[in-house]
Amino acid sequence: MKVKPIVSIFLILVFSIIFVGGTRAFSESSATGETTVTQKGVQISFQYLDKKMLFNRYGNRNNPFIFYGTGPLIAFDVSVEPTVDIRIETGDAVLESAHGIREPVTKSEITQYWGYRLRKRAGGRVSSQFSNWSQRYVLELLDAHVMSDAMLIRSQGEQRGLLLFESFRTRKGNATLKLPVYDKSSNLIHQFEFDILL
């Protein structure tokens, strides 16, 4: 039985979606808002944390994710569980939208930023907005919750932390988070892509 050309094209498209669709994920509404994707022995789960969620999780005072630059950071809670040894360089991640491209605010960058903002220097004072903040608490919070700049994650291990980006001028809209994962020799294993609605 001959298959009409238009039917063949349709079947090719269907199978392409089935086999290729796993490389990207759309953040759907759910109880936790968490999306999980597994590719080439690496499982990554992520959850977009909006401003309200950042307030609920970390409070108002001593919350370094709400007050940064021109506004709240765009934050993702990311969990990585590989069945092979992998490397992740958080600085290689990218957030793309119609409003532009953002590179991550790394752990070292945000730690340096708040270490400076909250340091009481001789003859000077911390900005009144942050006068009741604790530098020690903020730096410990960043150390405990932000993803390291570079990570070697062993097979069957797990790393979890926040991946941070500066806000776009227009915060709302569709965006794509791209996170490359490398092997121990820094060869690309897979670039994970998550489509999200900010």
pLDDT at 9: 46
Walk me through the domains of the chain, giving residue ranges and CATH numbers: 5-197 (2.60.40)
Give the C-alpha separation, 104 to 102, whole Å.
7
Place of tokens 């990554």: 44
pLDDT in tens, 129-172: 788 899 999 999 999 999 999 999 999 999 999 999 998 876 67
Q: With 0-12 CB in 10 A as exposed, 13-18 as middle and 19+ as buried, what is 105?
A: buried
Residue ranges for the chain with pLDDT beneath 70: 1-32, 120-126, 170-171
Neighbours of 13 (CB within 10 A): 10
pLDDT at 18: 35
Cβ contacts of 147 within 8 Å, gap of 6 or more: 78, 88, 90, 107, 159, 161, 162, 163
pLDDT at 69: 80
pLDDT at 124: 61
Give the C-alpha separation, 55 to 48, whole Å.
13
Tokens (6 digits) for 39:
């590719």
Strands 24-26 and 150-153: unpaired
Give the C-alpha separation, 82 to 138, whole Å.
30
pLDDT at 119: 82
Whether pTM exceeds 0.75: yes
Task: For residue 170, give Cα distances in angstroms to 47, 48, 71, 83, 196.
Answer: 20, 17, 11, 39, 15
Largest CA distance in the chain: 89
Q: With 0-12 CB in 10 A as exposed, 13-18 as middle and 19+ as buried, what is 6?
A: exposed
